[in-house]
Chains A and B, each alone.
Chain A
């Protein structure tokens, strides 16, 4: 399977615990995005990387959230001191941008998501 993969698919944790999710993009894709989707809503942009550089962060990404893409391949999203409001589906997407900093017409391919439940 050469699509975007995410691990784990489901995570249940207690409030106050830290969690970390992993995303493996499609090989050779230089852009990687993180989104959050709550029930009945469309996904909301969190952050994105061009290779290993984190180029934009949403104001939704509080200080408790941190994302990394150390080698420009896989990425991790960590949530510290989880709160019940963090319960959501966390989606990762990757794309191949042929023009650096271009207008973003590249197709984003989404992974299956990690569903987080904070008790």
Chain B
């Protein structure tokens, strides 16, 4: 069964600190992996997209890594801000089907 698992489920950090979120997937075949940010009550917003040949992708203070051999990805957030408080969802797209398989997300709370 195609699955995307994330850890931790929730995380609280202080403003200005860094954090790393983890994603493991068992989706096969594999086309690409995405990280989305979802604020409460809103639709997800794309942060990064990586194909199997890419190891890392950055978007401002967000840096995603991908190890297609071990089927693991991480999202590193640098110098966190209060506005980073949201759910971060790891999403995998199987090859050529164009649908997205979402993880359950990591709920991040950044406190002052």
SS of B interface (majority): loop
**Total number of residue pairs linking A and B with CB closer than 8 Å:** 71
- In the bound complex, residues from chain B placing their C-beta under 8 Å from that of A42 are 4, 89, 91, 102-105
- Are A110 and B43 closer than 8 Å at their CB atoms? yes
- Are A4 and B43 closer than 8 Å at their CB atoms? yes
Q: Which of B17-37 contact A (CB under 8 A)?
A: 31-32
Q: Does B95 contact A (CB under 8 A)?
A: yes
- 9 example contacts (A-B, Cβ-Cβ < 8 A) are as follows A42-B105, A91-B43, A93-B43, A103-B32, A103-B95, A103-B96, A104-B31, A105-B93, A108-B46
9 further A-B pairs in the complex, CB-CB below 8 A; given A35-B102, A48-B98: A42-B91, A43-B44, A56-B98, A103-B95, A103-B96, A104-B32, A105-B31, A108-B46, A115-B41
Instruction: Show the binding face of A for B, using Cβ within 8 Å.
Output: 4, 31, 33, 35, 40-45, 48, 55-56, 58, 91, 93, 97, 101-105, 107-113, 115
